[in-house]
Amino acid sequence: MLEGVRVENLTIGYGKPLVKGLSFHMAEGEFWVVVGPNGVGKSTLMKTILGIVPPISGKVYIHGVDCTKRCEERKFLSYVPQMENYSHHFPATAFDVVLSGFFPRFGRFQRITDREKEIALCWMKLLGIDKIANKQFNSLSGGQQRKVLIARALVNNPHYIFLDEPTTGVDLKSSKRILKLIDDLHKKNGFGICMVTHDLNFVWDYIEKVILIGYNKYFIGNKEDILNEDLLSEIYEIDVRIAETKYGPIFLVGDKHI
């Protein structure tokens, strides 16, 4: 069985370290979330694993291969970035955006074939967005745009999908649908998931492992061991309480959810 993603003594940041000495192993097919306050390095950690941002020190291994710099094994990781990274005037259809997921593997003059178009449309059908294939991406709702970007990440059949705040900026109903979709990709299709999120109350039922990051500190492990009042209060530097209900825990900061 393939080893998955492993990091060893990883220090991340942009010149100045945000978090030092991270070590953990994401096995194939697991569902991980990265949580913590703003500005502590959650997105930076994801981008470092993906090779978008170089580590300050430490190693990143994919399927046992050292991918700290560049390696072919990175093709098994796909990325759904935050929506703010996309222009509101992006001049492309939803189908064009999904097809662009093939580009990282293409040579300089390689063109999209009918086979790639068929694969892209199959994923759009599976995600329930085939009927909007010819609509302009910038005309779609926030929830539809997220699904298009997820389809884009799927076309190369990755082993792990990394998603950065996939429910931010969409309404409650769309958030639940997106999380259900991600969970189905995990359980029914066997994809590993790593997701940065602030919505602890929404993701509890889906997740298995947690990376809880604070200001130059972190905790990693099973959700039951990490998402407790003591560790959350330490990381967020504010009193966090957990209310147990028949629907699962509700995470509160004062009278607000986190």
Q: What percent of the chain has pLDDT over 90?
A: 72
Q: How confident is the model at residue 109 (pLDDT cuts 50, 70, 90)?
A: low
pLDDT of residue 90: 65
pLDDT in tens, 196-207: 998 888 899 999
**H helices present in the chain, as ranges:** 42-50, 94-99, 114-126, 142-154, 172-187, 200-203, 223-226, 229-236
pLDDT of residue 133: 96
Does the structure show a pLDDT above 60 at 107? no
The CATH architecture that domain 5-88+159-257 belongs to is 3-Layer(aba) Sandwich (3.40)
State the residue for tokens 């990693």. Answer: 220
pLDDT in tens, 126-150: 999 999 999 999 999 989 999 999 9
Domain boundaries, the chain: 5-88+159-257
What length does the chain have?
Answer: 258
Region of 209 (left: φ > 0; alpha: ψ -120 to 50; beta: rest) is beta
Which of 99-108, 158-167, 170-179, 196-205 is least confident? 99-108
pLDDT in tens, 9-64: 999 999 899 999 999 999 999 999 999 999 999 999 999 999 999 999 999 999 99
pLDDT of residue 87: 55
